[in-house]
Chain A
Amino acid sequence: MLAAGTLAPDFELNCTPDQKLKLSELQGKKVILAFYPADWSPVCSDELALYNETMKIFSRHNAQLVGISVDSKWCHLAFSHDRKFHFPLLADFEPKGAISKLYEVYDEKEGESQRALYVLDEKGIIRWNYLSPMGVNPGADGILNALEDLDKSK
């Protein structure tokens, strides 16, 4: 994974079928990048459902969460609609997994993103990272601790 202290590489991906989101547009906010293997799969669904509920805690820390997987923008749209997610899902679809590779969290064998988290500060510097075993939902405690440490260090 990219180390804490490095500037998060900028990227632009579709967040809806007709809109793109550029990472640098989120500067001024802390950003949580949640890479995950696949829409609809059980563990990813539980992980994202949890983050959907913890959004209000994240926003107290001025943090925005985005999910990233290799699924297409149309798949993301259906998944997000079905689960009532309140955060964007980015499609790392073409070229497949390019951003996951850039962030060193791509599983070449499965052709999916790994289950990995990055927390960036308001300037886009990586402050915390975590790679979770594929089958384990990492919860939100690590993210929350990272956000609190950032606020404390100000």
Chain B
Amino acid sequence: MSQLKPPVNSKDHIQGKATAPLELVEYGDYQCLHCGHAYPIIKNVQRSLGADLKFVFRNFPLAEAHPDAFNAAVAAETAGLQHKFWEMHDIIFENQEALDSESLFLYARSIGLDLERFKNDIQKNTVTEKVEIDFESGVRSGVNGTPSFFINGKKYNGDWEEDVFIQYLKSQLTVI
């Protein structure tokens, strides 16, 4: 079974308590329709599991298939420099059909980012490198498409429709 490499660490964007018994990692592509479909499901999974779950998002843009995916990932990472990664992640998925540069700046404005700083930061190598490092970690971890999920470090190949996914995660709680 494929193992998450490297494990979740301080460079990751994490929602939830570090001590939560369940750790769900998604490798996602902002322009991938399946990831767009997964977005509200993950929100409900988080609501349902509450303090038992922490959620991590890593970038896996298929740039040739999805021409705006890489830029969208960079924009979310750039928002992260102003501690608004998740706000940007959410607004991008909620507006998945428009991910051109102009739209990305519009989203940056509407979540209240300092736009001058955003414009400057988005040019930095560090944000593109973060996306590339995420992608490569996904390849090494056996990601074969998006979204790919890892639960407590192990690749989850099962169904991720809401009810089944929540049920599975809850069943893992009793195993732990």
**Interfacial residues, chain A to chain B (CB-CB below 8 A):** 46-47, 49-50, 52-54, 57, 83-86, 137-141, 144
Contact = CB atoms under 8 A, between A and B. Distances in A.
Contacts, number: 43
A53 B141 CA distance: 15
A46 B145 contact: yes
A83 B65 contact: yes
Contact of B143 (A47, A84, A85, A139): A139
B139 A49 contact: no
Nearest to B132: A56
B62 interface: yes
A53 B144 CA distance: 11
Contact of A144 (B2, B62, B63, B140): B140
14 contacts: A46-B144, A47-B144, A49-B62, A50-B143, A52-B64, A57-B136, A57-B139, A85-B64, A86-B64, A141-B140, A141-B141, A141-B142, A144-B139, A144-B140
Interface residues of B, number: 14
Given A52-B64, A83-B65, A84-B64, 16 more contacts: A46-B144, A49-B65, A50-B62, A50-B139, A57-B136, A83-B64, A85-B64, A86-B64, A138-B144, A139-B139, A139-B143, A139-B144, A140-B139, A141-B139, A141-B141, A144-B140
Nearest to A58: B139
B63 A137 contact: no
Given A47-B144, A53-B135, A141 B2 contact: yes
Contacts of A46: 144-145
A140 B64 CA distance: 16
